[in-house]
Amino acid sequence: MTAGQRFREALAQNKPLQIVGTINAYQALQATKVGHKALYLSGAGVANASYGLPDLGMTNLEEVCIDVRRICAICPTPLIVDADTGFGHALNIGRCVIELIRNGAAGMHLEDQVGAKRCGHRPNKEIVETQEMCDRLHVALEARKIDPSFYLIARTDARAKEGLESAIERALSYAKTGVDAIFAEALQNLEEYHAFSQALSVPLLANITEFGLTPMFGLEELKSVGVAMVLYPLSAFRAMNKVALSVYADLKYKGTQKDQIPHMQTREELYEMLGYYGYEAQMDLLLGHQKS
């Protein structure tokens, strides 16, 4: 079964399907251990965590693929990837699809911002014309012929720039290209999600990111207005950052980390997550054979 097929199976079995952000392979293992059925690699996560850069379209395809490879090599849970605007012109978009498939991703989303993109919850976003976005999607759909199960999501950022009605019109045009789903960014109430889901014949994704324009709607609330997928792109990453900064501060100003111990994962918990003892047993067996 391909990664795309695994994702489609998860979507069919979970209504709505939660898609949780994982910035690295270890987080992917943690999310899978808890029982999540779909993972996400955020463009902001790659820029912030792997390169110390803001989410302003400053990373490239290969830099994203490095993290995709690391996650998909160790974790079978299907991974959806933030492909921003496709990392360039039409040929780059086609290459993006092919490379993500080759590196193990289950799917991706492509957005309608201009190349010099911004975070979807920041002001002053600029979006391309509807036809240009449809052209992007046609190229992506043509490229995914190497794996038709690869899940392709069209994201629109038009709600903030053009209003709800225009955003829905755009989404309908994008859906007609043959993409699998629509990602409506930065909606502000449940009524807006309901309007999208009622208009669309393809699944709708809601992005429930913290500290943005969209309220923290619960899973059941989103289900009630027809949302099929709920994305949490950087929730764990933000929590990790907060705790890590506190640890560094204690080391600097208290000279000890002892007050942070209750917030830390134990060595045994780490080993259990990694399957450490199994690896160690294999090493001992191999070394034993070599010595004998």
- Active-site positions read 40, 55, 82, 84, 109, 111, 119, 155, 185, 207
- d(CA 267, CA 289) in angstroms, rounded, equals 29
Peptide bond connecting 262 to the previous residue in cis, omega within 30 degrees of 0: no
Q: By CB neighbour count within 10 A (0-12 exposed, 13-18 middle, 19+ buried), where does 199 fall? A: middle
Q: What is the distance between the alpha carbons of residues 104 and 73, in angstroms, rounded to a whole number?
A: 8
Backbone angles phi, psi at 265, to 5 degrees: -75, 135
Residue 238 tokens, joined: 């933000």
Amino acid identity, residue 203? Answer: P
Distance CA 144, CA 96 (A): 10
Are the CB atoms for 117 and 164 separated by under 8 Å? no
Q: Where are the alpha helices (DSSP H) in the chain?
A: 3-13, 25-34, 43-45, 51, 61-74, 90-102, 130-143, 158-162, 164-176, 190-199, 219-224, 235-253, 267-274, 276-291
